[in-house]
Amino acid sequence: MRLEALTARQTDAYRFVRDFAAANRYLPTQRQIAEALGISPTTAREHIAELVRKGYLGQHHHETRGMWLAVELTDEELPEPPDPAPPVEFTCRGCGAHETADPQSVAAFHRFAKAFQEKHARCPRPICAPAEVK
Binding site for Zn ion (CB under 5 A): 92, 94-95, 97, 120, 123
Q: How far apart are CA 96 and CA 31, in angstroms?
A: 39
| CA nearest neighbour of 120 among 132, 111, 128, 108 | 128
Least distance to Zn ion, CB of residue 134, Å: 23
Tell me whether residue 22 or residue 127 sits nearer to Zn ion (CB atom): 127
Nearby residues of 118 by Cβ (< 8 Å), 6 or more positions away: none
Q: Which residue is nearest to Zn ion (CB)?
A: 92
| Residue 93 or 111 having the CB closest to Zn ion | 93
| Amino acid, res. 25 | R
* CB closer to Zn ion, 70 vs 88: 88
Q: From the CB of 76, what's the least distance to Zn ion, in Å?
A: 43
Q: How far is the CB of 92 from Zn ion (least distance, A)?
A: 3
Residue 91 bridge partners (DSSP): 98, 129
